Structure formats: C-alpha cells, structure tokens
Structure 1
Amino acid sequence: MTSVDVEMVKCACPDCVCVISVGQAITRDGKAFCCDECADGHPDHQGCDHAGCTCHG
C-alpha cells in the first residue's frame, strides 16, 4: 500500500474555487476553508476576497 500526503485542498465552501495548503486552512467541523468568511457560511454575504473567486455563500 502506498501512502499519500495531501498538501493542498479545495476550500469546503461549495461556491469557492480557492485551493489552500492544509497547514494554512481554517478548519471547522473537520472541513478545510480558505478564510473565516467561508468557514462561517458567509453570514453577511461577503466574499473571500481572493483573486478570481466570486463566492458569497
């Protein structure tokens, strides 16, 4: 069996296109997010403000 170390993951926010390193991710409920806005479910419909991403929850 081969082991694989995953270093980059897609933000768990369904609308977000960001890919983040596991070490830099904000984790909530076992899911990795790129920022607090995504992790909080965009309560104020603010985007993550990362270039090229249009998520707003």
Structure 2
Amino acid sequence: MADATTEMVPCACTDCVCKVKAGTGIERDGKTFCCEACADGHASHDGCGHSGCACHG
C-alpha cells in the first residue's frame, strides 16, 4: 500500500513561505527551492509568484 503522505520541505529562500514536495523543486547547491526566481536569489527582483508569498530580491 502506498504512503498517502507526501513529504513537504520549505523553500531554501529565507524570505519565502512556500513548501514543495521533496524531490520536485529546483535543486541548487544541495538546497531545494520552489522556483527559478528563488533559486537564482531573485537576481531579477522577481518574487516567486505563489499565492500568499511576497518574497523578492
């Protein structure tokens, strides 16, 4: 029987409130991010765009 729970991990961006399914986010330097903007350190000053999150550079 498959496990019905999926492990969620917080985005490694310190200002981000998002959580992602383990193994499905953007992996950089051994850390998991919810999107390219967070993984790139918000180099373009874009937020992640996820509802309820206001992270940006």
Cα distance between partner residues in 2 of 1:49 and 1:37: 9
TM-score (norm 2): 0.85
Identity %: 63
Give 4+ residue runs of structure 1 displaced > 4 Å after superposition. Answer: none
Cα distance between partner residues in 2 of 1:38 and 1:22: 16
Q: Any stretches of 5+ residues in structure 2 without a counterpart?
A: 1-5
Q: Any stretches of 5+ residues in structure 1 without a counterpart?
A: 1-5
| C-alpha RMSD over aligned residues | 1.2
Q: How many residues align?
A: 52
TM-score (norm 1): 0.85
